[in-house]
Chain A
Amino acid sequence: MLEKLLPEKIYDVATGGGGRIVTEIRMRVGKPLSVAVAGRYFNPIDEYGHLYEVTREDVDHVLGVATKHSLYAVNSQLAGGYLSCDEGIRIGVSGEGVYKGGRLFTLKNVSSLCIRVPAQIFGCASALERIVKDFGNTVILSPPGYGKTTMLREFVRLLSQSGKNVVVIDERNELSASVNGVSGFDLGPNTDVLLFSSKKGGYADAVRSLRPDLVATDEIFGAEEIDCLEDIFRCGVNVVATVHAKNTLSLLENKVYGRLAKFTRYFVELGELGKVTKIIDKEVIKKC
């Protein structure tokens, strides 16, 4: 997908002719291309030793392929500042906002893109196996770019393998990387995916119709989504979610996100390159 998504020249310099496993590519019009490999950024150089400067045409190329030349079909995504592509690639988009009826309607003159390439790393959630055995509501947290989604994907697979019916609410097709409704990543044998469903709508649908043991979702944001999680738990269904936060303490000190402590048992902190640095089990703290 990346080969088709990127202009040939950018693909070559970014991946070193296809040999490098790239996790993120940042394209800013008029600025040098920036590429992340294993969490480290660098500015790739072309065959003449020059930094590759991103052009407007490069950005338009990626937008054209990412939208399948059908901007009208992904306008709501664009207004949300992102585009979902096949194979779970997510593109963060920034440009000029266009407002309609007082609401952000779309973006025009897109000036920069942040292309994130998902990966499935089997075994990366081995530190969470004890949570699988003694399951409780879990929140995985870290600052952006530390591998929360990758960790959640593997955790979901382990939970599913353990026999739990898991519903994944995949708002941006990042977790499952589905193509034509079929998951591109292995999310386990007992997993159902609600694709491109809003979290709010997805939660209700999942609990009412799919009878899950647990619901998993990525990047909860804001009070409304925490309300939804709480409501799911009230229904007797467990939840696994990721959230952006520096650490558990800073998360729980926040007025909105502090409410997670009411119904979350495990807080899993990730360090760089998606390593589990801390697991806080509320039950253990209570006993102490």
Chain B
Amino acid sequence: MAKRIDISGLSAYYGNHKAIDDISMTVEPRSVTAFIGPSGCGKSTFLRTLNRMHEVTPGGRVEGKVLLDDENLYAKDVDPVAVRRTVGMVFQRPNPFPTMSIFDNVAAGLRLNGSYKKSRLTEVVEKSLRGANLWNEVKDRLNKPGSGLSGGQQQRLCIARAIAVEPQVLLMDEPCSALDPISTLAIEDLIGELKERFTIVIVTHNMQQAARVSDRTAFFNLAAIGQPGKLIEIDDTERIFSNPSVQATEDYISGRFG
């Protein structure tokens, strides 16, 4: 199921503004890779280049290569829609579809990609909700609107929605930044379980979170406001937090941010 991602020489632009510059790294399958760094360093932009969501933004443009196993996502004949089916995404703020019930939300990815039989949908919905540790909380109200859930439940609903289409990779853009500590803990536990099945990349502002959930950590920084963000280093999480090889990383981690 899970695939390895090889990124080489990747730059992303908003119109004429370069947001990230020449990034190369490898993301291992069945592991959690965390992106940390100050605001505006381009880590979210970078994440969005991994499933071609960056180009949805007006003026969004990408140079470089992203290899999923051996296939370049930015090759000419690749369909961005197919890419997004393979590389799922969870957003900063929980965003269930307000017109749909809990069931329909989870089934949305399958249904919107074509028709599926009711029995198969039911099966996938249950499996995905169980996978997102939400089944027990919502199994009695699958037909209620998804917007009636708490913030943490909504975010897990969004995770269930993302994994229902069985992607290879799961991208998470600060998935806990809008949640309270208890909901955050539930999501972090969930991430630990999900990495058995998926390649997970998570952007986070919370360094303790990165330390808790990730296997590898990448640190991004920018020279000054208006300059493109750069990858400073990527290493095993333990090493990054105990003995990073670059001074800037140590400054950031030992600063008063975490």
- Please say whether chains A and B are actual partners in one complex: no
